[in-house]
Amino acid sequence: MKTWIPDERNFACLTWKQVDALARAETLLVLPTAAIEQHGHHLPLATDTLINNLLLGKALALAPSDLSIYALPPVCYGKSNEHLGFPGTLSVSAQTFMAVLRDLGASIAAAGFQKLVLYNTHGGNTSLVDVMARDLRAEFGLRTFTLFGCPGAAFEGVSAQERTYGFHAGEIETAFLLHATPTLVHPDGYTANYIARVDKPELLKPEGSPANFAWLTRDIAPSGVMGDPTAATAENGERWSNDAAARIAEILAAMYHFKPGHGA
């Protein structure tokens, strides 16, 4: 698959002798987690994986060269059972996903590395990534960090409705791919669905509120889209991905230098 990770920041491009020579106690490894799942009629299955790779690749290109930071190959298969029933969705169970992260953490710790970032761009993985960040810290003593989505992008011009409920294959994800992989976007297949309305406050919401209902995509979005891609532009995708990459580069540097304290 296409990658934006610079070769000199790509862990999988190293030989074992080069890994052996790294300052492993200081090195920060970034493990991307994403998905291969339906993204409507207009975006490819790998959308979450491509966006992760785009943002991380741009961020690593900005990171100071004296910081030893490497991207690991991504865990492309995620917990995507909300999208089952749409051909092409390849999902693993929560147990499998966590077992893969646990085993990779064991290998990383056994090799003498101490710092690991879990960078996730698929919502269905989020709670599992939080669990595993703590479990890897507890079991292997790894200094673990979590990073989600695209911090630093202001998404100017995106409506409140789309910001709140443009969960999946909507304006933001479509803009990223129009910028990064335009030949993989099919604008003649745009469709729109919303799981809820911001102008219609309800007691129960799909997520992020005190009381939530569990949802499956097929319950509310026949095309598989949650959001509205029609306003997406490549220009916005480029600007937002550059903004996000700049912030992610800052965050990675902060993680690299992080020393836990006991408060002031």
CB of 173 to Zn ion, least distance (A): 5
CB of 44 to Zn ion, least distance (A): 10
Listed in sequence order, the residues at least 6 apart from 35 whose beta carbon sits closer than 8 Å to its beta carbon are 48, 49, 76, 77, 78, 80, 91, 122, 124, 125
CB of 184 to Zn ion, least distance (A): 13
CB of 39 to Zn ion, least distance (A): 6
Task: Give, as ranges, the residues between 142 and 181 that touch Zn ion (CB under 5 A).
Answer: none
The phi-psi region of residue 158 (left if phi > 0; otherwise alpha if psi is between -120 and 50; otherwise beta) is beta
CB of 167 to Zn ion, least distance (A): 8
Residue nearest to Zn ion (CB): 48
User: Which of 72, 73, 75 lies closest to 29 in space, CA to CA?
Assistant: 72
Smaller CB separation from Zn ion, 105 or 229 = 229
| DSSP conformation letters of 70-97 | EEPPPB--B--GGGTTSTT-BB--HHHH
Measured over the CA atoms of residue 92, residue 95, residue 101 and residue 107, the dihedral's sign is: negative
Smaller CB separation from Zn ion, 104 or 177 = 177
In the three-class reduction of DSSP (H, G, I as helix; E, B as strand; rest coil), residue 161 is classed as helix
Which DSSP symbol is given to 188? G
User: Which of 176, 173, 191, 185 lies closest to 228 in space, CA to CA?
Assistant: 191
Q: Beta strands 143-148 and 69-71: pairing type?
A: unpaired
Task: Give, as ranges, the residues between 47 and 66 that touch Zn ion (CB under 5 A).
Answer: 47-48
Q: How many residues bind Zn ion (CB under 5 A)?
A: 2
Per-residue tokens: 102: 């646990």
Smaller CB separation from Zn ion, 107 or 230 = 230
Rg of the chain (C-alpha set)? 19
CB of 170 to Zn ion, least distance (A): 9
Smaller CB separation from Zn ion, 102 or 163 = 163
Contact indicator for 179, 210 with CB cutoff of 8 Å: no
Smaller CB separation from Zn ion, 28 or 128 = 128
Smaller CB separation from Zn ion, 152 or 170 = 170
Task: Give, as ranges, the residues between 20 and 49 that touch Zn ion (CB under 5 A).
Answer: 47-48
CB of 210 to Zn ion, least distance (A): 25
Length of the chain: 264
Smaller CB separation from Zn ion, 74 or 105 = 74
| Positions that interact with Zn ion (CB under 5 A) | 47-48
